[in-house]
Structure 1
Amino acid sequence: MHPTARLAGVALAALSPLSLFAAEPLALQCGQLFDARSGKLLDARTVVVRDGKVAEVLAGRADVPGVQAIDLSGHTCSPGWTDLHVHLGDQSSPKSYEEDFRLDDVDFAFRAVGYARKTLMAGFTSVRDLGGEVSPHLRDAINQGLVDGPRIWAAGKSIATTGGHADPSNGYNSTLSHLIGPPGPTEGVINSVDDARQAVRQRYKDGSDVIKITATAGVLSYAKSGDAPQFTVDEVKAIVDTARDYGYRVAAHAHGAEGMKRAVLGGVTSIEHGTYMTDEVMALMKQKGTWYVPTIHAGRFVAEKAKLDDYFPEVVRPKAARIGALIQDTAARAYKAGVKIAFGTDMGVGPHGDNAREFLYMVEAGIPAATALQAATIRAAEVLGVDDQGVVEAGKRADIVAMPGNPLADITVVTRVDFVMKDGKVYKRPDGVRLDGMQADAEAQAGAAP
């Protein structure tokens, strides 16, 4: 990452809208509350928020002395959602492949600020960014209050093998390849157990929160194969063991069955995409407790764009058409087989802010709406290894979203989130809902609520 990338977040601080209301005590009067532990809707509840955390959850619509109330009757409140697979530093377009040569890191960082805000406003208060050198710096800017966005677990540079899905030199001509030389563990490219350990340690040095490996070839990389295995079991195990030394979990991009099998045997926490997942792999994942993050949205997006003549390079287009169309069916089979499923979209492939459509696609695949919502709340927290979010309970983070209607009866309401709170701060609220006397100057500075 070029050092000027850090400047993007700082420069945009002046442009970033403030939260509508700072983290003052609030009482959210919810028409219904989604209980992520049971997967059921509770009737009216009042969620009292103090100092960025849930202080208590009261039955009915309660007035709390000295605490401003937000009327969310007619709304279903839910724990803030987590998308376990995003790439906030980029967004797919017909120009994506040329932009890596034309733009600087600071350009991508500026774009990422807008993508982060869209993601938060869609109801996603946390994300796991699985690959992109911008994301650790964006995470820091958000944590410092310089820009608005979700809480980020950042992988930084993904780890690949030579010619693998995350080899940054794929597609370079011979002149450029000779000029920059072959990438190694510092750049996230490995070819041995020793390289694997070094690559993880470099991610630690770079400030990553999680490790991402590309266990198989990929759809959008500039290479012919979309599913070939690209690590040995020993290499995966070396990554997982070294990651564990630093408290990291490992996510594995994987489309082909053999690469998935090696990743699961090596001890990864989650399989991402999983297109050609076999019954054998599913049984192994259940045995090892490995999570599956389907990313159906990305599959559908690339399959649709593959129909266009000028969207993808010709080496990519057949893979996008063939692989992308299969992921939803794989998710359906995995759910029926009892594989543990958590929520992720691979946004950056599709447009940021559209994350909630994954819920619709999960339900289309036969996954119950309640299970899909759990996948983005309590199950996502389990994948991350945290216990302070994913539920609305006393002592947990006050990450709460609300939508008009009942998502268990009509899953499409998840695309109409009109209340977003993160760490007790309100970033979005329904039209007409005002809090007299509370942070009026903040709302004036922020402008009209989105």
Structure 2
Amino acid sequence: MSKQRILVVGAGHVGLYAALRLTKKIKSHEAEVTVVDPQPHMTYQPFLPEASAGNISPRHSVVPLRRELKKANVLAGEVTRIEHARKVATVQPIVGPAREVPYDHIVVVPGSVSRTLPIPGLREHAVGFKTIGEAIYLRNHVLERLDVAAATTDPDVRRNALTFVFVGGGYAGIEALAEMEDMAHDALRYYPELKHSDMRWVLVEATRRVLPEVDPDMGAYTVQVLLKRNMDIRLDTRLESCVDGLVRLSDGDEFKADTIVWTAGVKPSPMLNQTDLPRDERGRLTCDAQLHIVGPDGAIVEGAWSAGDCSAVPDLTSETPGALCSPSAQHAVRQAARMADNIVATIRGRRGKDYAHKHVGSVASLGLHKGVAQVYGIKLTGILAWLMHRTYHMSRIPSFNRKVRVVVDWTLALFLRREVVSLGGLHRPHDPFTEVTPSIPAEPREELKI
């Protein structure tokens, strides 16, 4: 049998874990693994709130691909098209012309992007919370707003600077809101001009509850914790406009805010629009229980695999007919392992196994020493839930190197105060050089005479 070519599109939770397992299980003469991603790292997204709040270094929440995938080929670029009928993917490298990469098996796991809505002003004035760049930006921006508020004598400027709006009451929104408020509260000790009551933290959630992944009583507990911290919680409320930073809500309220964070869900990567692979009505790749991509009639698309939050995978442990696995990291890492094992089995002429995992529960941080957890039916709150949150995610982040670095960050935080300095200049590093460099008009070129 000729050497098989396995192409992994995307290096998120599923892509990295699948590639790691493939390179460990497969023999070099059986197959070669190529991973394509525009970023040189995998972002461990559950650590974004902690990285943004300064509890851990942002670099420690990402995993370098080339360090971890020593036995795989890592191609820095973006897959712009998949023609599975020809078993060819078009890859646009970071620099240079596009190239075609042939394959025998393809793992299509580009992940998801923020699910936005056509809300006036959202594109211009809001920021997402899905990438390490967004997390770093939000940290610097919030701390800059404290500097603005402390320096101004205009009460309107101060009020706008100290109003922070988070849209979306899922795990990402709740954890980002709680961690950023915690960080800002710590920073106020260095701002004698400001009081905690000057800040306004607003959560806008379109449904009547937060944290839908846990029982309603745990969601209610979370709301009570946030209310005790003087946060403004707006349930059953939608953001209708934020033009020029003027936030208009469906309950009729409106106010100005310099900070608007959008965390209202995700949708499959738009890259999937450029494939000939079957998808469902929500744009997800349709899969069977063995993680093969399948057509509307259930027929397997030979050599095509997927998992994670860009795919619709049946949940065999659910009693609800037609239930699908939730788009969580808990499922993603386990699906990646099962998919990799099934690819190896297929290459060796054996039958794969079905993926079946009963969701064990969820954990969330509500800031330093505060949390909520529901695991195997056991409900925990406060510091015990917070410790469970940290322990679980420390165990899940890939590589011993990153585990050690994260634990060291947490240990140092027990003895040293949190860093609360803004490095906003990181976002526009060329500006200081441009300001001191004279502009020289371009000399007119002589026209070429023929």
With the length of structure 1 as denominator, give the TM-score of the two structures.
0.25
Structure having the larger proportion of residues in strand: 2
With the length of structure 2 as denominator, give the TM-score of the two structures.
0.25
